[in-house]
Amino acid sequence: MTLKLDINPIKAWMPNIDNPLLISGPCSLETEEQTMETARLLAKDKRVFVFRGGVWKPRTRPGSFEGVGSIGLKWLQQVREETGFPVGTEVANAQHTEEALKAGLDVLWIGARSTASPFVVQEIADVLKGTDTVVMIKNPVNPDVQLWMGAVERIYQAGIKNIVGIHRGFTPFRETKYRNYPNWKTFIELKRLLPNLPVICDPSHIAGTREYLFEISQKAFDMGMEGLMIESHRDPSCALSDAGQQLTPADLGKMLDKLVIRYENASNPEFDNQLDVLRNRIDAIDAELLEILASRVQIVKQIGEYKRDNNVTALQISRWTQLMENRVKLGKSMDVNETFVKILFQLIHEDSVRMQTEIMDQE
Ligand code: PEP
Ligand code: MN
């Protein structure tokens, strides 16, 4: 069910922004110098709007760098004073949230591991009550859209209207190209359920390595996401966490130069007219497709009755194998994607068998 929550657009709390919202900064704040130097370099690029820096780091296993803790909040304040950047960090419990609010941070985000725990999200929401902080909510580690949506609702119910979703990918259950696989359909489903929620992408945690950042960022814009959170470090090779996926601010700038930014509307009447013409054609073709499917259903039913009257099974494997081979070949000759044809005819055939067994059971 679609929920029309009264969530603010990004422009409501960042009026001087021309989309997209770009957030950047180190995975972890390590020293005052590393924080300030990275921020100074980022401030040279007017496309960066918010400075991020992890202070309390959720590490999968103990023993790795767990962040500098509260001292990092002071460095974030310094960044804001010197560069004018709004600043943000990840909070993972009530105490982090209290400290971050006390330090006057502009943006707080809830990490993927925390979004997966409703108790943690509620604990954070309870502390946020009565503030007008900007809260960003990463997807949970598993592609459970309800859990992601639930976290948004908990924060919203605490009276927060400045909310942004962050798509950072999902833990893979086998070796994949990316560190966290981007299940784009979970993002699409979240937008369907919460149309007012602005969503940005975190290509750094999806990619896990620098080489994939561009393709994921471009895909995010192609899909209509409203910004990016990209990790950057003055010297990524020395980073204490996520060294392989961080960019120098200069390389971030080069990547931004290459990205094509897309908008939901072109604000160009000629484009809108042409789009309407093409969409009308698609509507007509879809109606034809459905008519063709309806006539196929009639024949499937006739065959079902015929099989029933002659005590023949609904499913004939050899016919099914032959049909699939033929359709894939035919599809290929018309330049229709093979996987698509397979999935489509699996569905069509499955439904035909269902209809025919129903006819047989009516006997
Ligand atoms: C981060 O942004 O540094 C982080 C730890 O992210 P995630 O919660 O997506 O793993
Ligand atoms: Mn990181």
Going from the first residue of the chain to its last (363 residues), give the mean pLDDT of each consecutive group of 10, the final group possibly shorter: 91 90 98 98 97 93 91 98 98 98 98 98 97 97 97 98 98 94 96 97 98 98 96 97 97 97 85 94 97 97 95 91 95 96 96 94 76
- Predicted confidence at residue 363, as pLDDT, reads 61
CA distance 63 to 71: 20
Interval between CA 35 and ligand 2 midpoint (Å): 15
- 119 Cβ contact partners less than 8 Å away, ≥ 6 residues apart: none
State the Cα–Cα distance between residues 38 and 44, nearest whole angstrom.
10
CA of 130 to the centre of ligand 2 (A): 30
What does DSSP say about strands 163-167 and 199-201: parallel, antiparallel, or unpaired? Answer: parallel
Q: What is the pTM of this model?
A: 0.85
d(CA 58, ligand 2 centre) in Å? 9
User: What is the CB neighbour count within 10 angstroms for residue 113?
Assistant: 17
Q: Which residue, judged by its Cα, is nearest atom 4 of ligand 1?
A: 111
In the reported structure, the alpha carbon of residue 31 is separated from the centroid of ligand 1 by a whole-number distance in angstroms of 19
Q: Residues 360, 304: contact at Cβ < 8 Å?
A: yes
Architecture of the domain whose range is 10-257: Alpha-Beta Barrel (3.20)
CA 138 to ligand 1 center in whole angstroms: 8
CA distance 327 to 84: 61
Token pair in block for residue 190: 């979240």
pLDDT reported for residue 3: 85
Q: Which ligand is nearest to the CA of 245?
A: 2
Ligand 1 pocket check for 54: Cβ under 6 Å: yes
Question: Does any ligand 1 atom lie closer than 6 A to the CB of residue 191?
Answer: no
Residue 173 tokens read as 């259950």
Specify the domain boundaries for CATH 1.20.59.10 within the chain: 269-361
Taking the C-alpha atoms of residue 159 and residue 155, their distance in angstroms, rounded to an integer, is 7
Nearest alpha-carbon partner for 186 in 223, 150, 222, 143: 143
∠ Cα 11 233 114 (to 5°): 60
Which pLDDT score, from 0 to 100, does residue 320 have? 93
Residue with tokens 């960042």: 14
Cα 341 to ligand 2 centroid, rounded to whole Å = 40
Q: Which of 110, 183, 186, 194 is nearest to 145 (CA)?
A: 186
Kindly give the distance from the C-alpha atom of residue 223 to the centroid of ligand 1, in angstroms, as a whole number: 22
| Ligand 1 binding pocket mutation candidate from 30, 205, 230, 232 (most atoms within 8 A of CB) | 205
Probe residue for ligand 1, chosen from 28, 51, 90 as the CB with the greatest number of ligand atoms within 8 Å: 90
- What residue has token string 């005819």? 345
What pLDDT, on a 0 to 100 scale, did the predictor assign at position 309?
Answer: 94
Closest ligand 1 atom, CA of 202? 9
* CA 253, 257, 263, 268 torsion-angle sign: positive
Q: What is the pLDDT of residue 18?
A: 80
Q: Is the CB of 208 under 6 A from ligand 1?
A: no
Which residue owns the Cα nearest ligand 1 atom 3? 27
Cα of 79 vs centre of ligand 2, distance in Å, is 19
Q: Confirm or reject: Cβ of 138 under 6 Å from ligand 1.
A: yes
Q: Determine if ligand 1 sits within 6 Å of the CB of residue 92.
A: no
The CA distance from 125 to 171, in Å, is 25
CATH number of 269-361, picked from 1.20.810.10, 1.20.59.10, 2.40.50.140, 3.65.10.10:
1.20.59.10
Please work out whether the CB of residue 112 comes within 6 Å of at least one atom of ligand 1. yes
Query: Could you give the C-alpha distances from 240 to 63, 89, 168, 171, 296, in angstroms and in order?
Result: 12, 17, 20, 22, 62
Ligand 1 atom at minimal distance to the Cα of residue 205: 9
CATH 3.20.20.70 region(s) of the chain?
Answer: 10-257
Nearest CA to ligand 1 atom 1: 27
For residue 186, what are the CA distances in angstroms to 149, 167, 168, 192, 262? 11, 9, 11, 10, 20
What pLDDT was estimated at residue 16? 87
> 201 CB under 6 A from ligand 1?
no
